[in-house]
Every structure is written in structure tokens, then in C-alpha cells.
Amino acid sequence: MNLAAKIEESAKRERPATPERALKILLVEDNVVNRKVAVAMLQKRGHTVAMAGGGREALAALERGCFDVALMDVQMPEMDGLQTTVEIRRRERATGGHLPIIAMTANAMKGDRERCLNSGMDGYVSKPFGSAELMEALAAVDTHHEPPAIFDRADALARMEGDESLLGEVAAAFLGDS
């Protein structure tokens, strides 16, 4: 490997991966110190952060707004991160959406990562984490999700056996009724 290639490889290792755009992040963390550290790291990179102190607050926040990704503490009182993730995934089955969820946990024992991923989480970072680890975890999940389609014209037309006129009448009736 020549010198230029070594320098470039070294720079890649030192520079944390970051998403291409600013993200709207839901931080679910019950510890005040951990919240302050994570928020500072995320805001320095231009991300917007909404906070929830536990699982129930997180579910309420998701009902009020849309987020690109959630950073989810695993160990929280009342409703932990695994239970919260299972509930989010249950709700998504009805809507067709998918919120990327990254586990944040002090549990770094064998099997902990797998337990988080098996609950429906998309990524994992162990505490205490540095900025580089957090940015790499964010960059590793797909935050470019498209919202589910509200109306699938091709499917609706197929249900009307290709009859454009009937589809127009049904659509007008639906709009009038709603």
C-alpha cells in the first residue's frame, strides 16, 4: 500500500460515518446524564432531537410526530426498550411503516446484541459510546424510508376490473362521503 492510500485509510478510520442529511431523532433515555451527552453529540452534527424519558413517552411521541430514527435505551423502568420496540413494530404492521431503532445499552454481554436485534431493533451501540460509534450506528441504518402510499391507483383500478369510469365514480362517492 502506498503512502497516499495509507493516509486515506487512516482518515476514514478517524472520521466517523455520518448520515447524508440532518435527521429528526427520537431519543428514548431515562438517565439525565446520558441524555445530555447524546443530545450534545447529535446537535453538533445538525440533527434535531426530541426526548422521551421512557417507553410510554416514546409511544406518545410517535403518535404526535414523525421521526427518521429512534435511539432506544434498553433498560428503563416501567416499559423497557425491548418492550417498546415490540409495541412499535406491532403498530407498524397496521400502518406499513418502519422506524429504524438503534439500541443504546450498557449491556455488552454475549447475546445482548442479538436479543436487541431479535426484538426488532435495527442497530446496536453499547454505552458508554463516543461520538464516532454513535454516528456510525446512525449511518448504518436506513433512514431514507418512504412513507407508505396512501392510495395505490393501479390496485384500485384492478379492483374495478380496469373500468376507469367506475373508478372515477367510486372515488367521487368516497370523497363526497368523507
Q: How far apart are CA 10 and CA 14, in angstroms?
A: 6
State the pLDDT at residue 37. 93
In the numeric block, which cell numbers belong to residue 115?
436479543
More confident: 8 or 58: 58
Rg (C-alpha) for the chain, rounded Å, is 21
The 10s digit of each residue's pLDDT in 11-40 is 444 444 445 678 999 999 999 999 999 999
**Sheet of strand 69-73: strand arrangement:** 48-52, 24-28, 69-73, 101-105, 123-126
6 Cβ contact partners less than 8 Å away, ≥ 6 residues apart: none
State the pLDDT at residue 14. 44
